[in-house]
Amino acid sequence: MIRRTTVAKGFALAAVLSLGLTACGSSDGGSGDSTDGGGGGSAEPLKIGTILPVTGTLAFLGPPEIAGVGLAIQDINKAGGVLGNDVKVEWGDSGDSTDLSVAKSTATDLISKGVSVAIGAASSAVTLGVVDQFEEAGVMEISPANTAKDLSGYGDFFARTAPPDTVQGAAHGSLILDDGHCKVGFLVQNEAYGTGLRDVIEDTLKKDGCEAVYGGKGAGNEFAPGETNFGAQVTALLAQKPDAISIVAFEETVAIVNELVAQGWDFKGDTYFVDGNLSNYGDKFDKGTLDGVQGTLPGAQADDAFREQLNTWYADNENGKLEDYSYSAESYDATVLAALAAVKGEATDGETISKNIRAVSGADGGTEVTSFADGVKALEAGEDIHYVGKSGIGPLNESNDPTSAFIGIYKYGADNTYTYQKQIEGKIEE
Count of alpha carbons within 13 Å of 422, Cβ hemisphere only? 12
Q: Is 16 helix (H, G, I), strand (E, B) or coil?
A: strand
The yes-or-no verdict on residue 36 having pLDDT over 70 is no
The yes-or-no verdict on residue 422 having pLDDT over 60 is yes
Distances (CA, A) of 334 to 43, 158, 203, 341, 367: 20, 11, 30, 11, 19
Q: Beta strand 294-298 with 47-51: parallel, antiparallel or unpaired?
A: unpaired
Q: Which of 398, 409, 368 is nearest to 153 (CA)?
A: 398
Residues 6+ apart with CB under 8 A from 301: 18, 406, 408, 420, 423
The yes-or-no verdict on residue 306 having pLDDT over 70 is yes
Measure CA 355 to chain center.
22
How far is Cα 407 from Cα 167, in angstroms, rounded to an integer?
Answer: 8
Do residues 212 and 165 touch, judged by C-beta distance below 8 A?
A: no
Q: Residues 384-393: pLDDT tens digits?
A: 999 999 999 9
Domains and CATH numbers, the chain: 31-163+302-399 (3.40.50.2300), 166-298+408-428 (3.40.50.2300)
Q: Which of 319, 283, 406, 377 is nearest to 80 (CA)?
A: 377
Average pLDDT over residues 410-425: 95
Q: Residues 156-197: pLDDT tens digits?
A: 999 999 999 999 999 999 999 999 999 999 999 999 999 999
The yes-or-no verdict on residue 25 having pLDDT over 50 is no
Tell me what pLDDT residue 42 has.
61
The yes-or-no verdict on residue 61 having pLDDT over 60 is yes
Tell me what pLDDT residue 17 has.
31
Average pLDDT over residues 223-240: 97
Q: Name the phi and psi angles at 250, rounded to 5.
A: -110, -125
Do residues 166 and 203 touch, judged by C-beta distance below 8 A?
A: no
Q: What is the b/e burial string over 59-93, where b = at least 16 CB atoms within 10 angstroms of the residue's CB?
A: bbbbbbbbbbbbbbbbbbbebebbbeeebbbbbbb
Q: Which of 71, 166, 200 is nearest to 397 (CA)?
A: 166
Do residues 210 and 177 touch, judged by C-beta distance below 8 A?
A: yes
Average pLDDT over residues 409-420: 96
Task: Evaluate the CA torsion angle 55, 59, 65, 71 in order and state its sign.
Answer: positive
Do residues 252 and 223 touch, judged by C-beta distance below 8 A?
A: yes
The yes-or-no verdict on residue 1 having pLDDT over 70 is no
How far is Cα 334 from Cα 388, in angstroms, rounded to an integer?
Answer: 12
HEC assignment per residue over 177-225: HHCCCCEEEEEEECCHHHHHHHHHHHHHHHHCCCEEEECCCCCCCCECC
Q: Is 277 helix (H, G, I), strand (E, B) or coil?
A: coil
Tell me what pLDDT residue 428 has.
75
Average pLDDT over residues 277-290: 96
How far is Cα 61 from Cα 178, in angstroms, rounded to an integer?
Answer: 29
Tell me what pLDDT residue 388 has.
95
Q: Residues 328-364: pLDDT tens digits?
A: 999 999 999 999 999 999 999 999 999 999 999 999 9
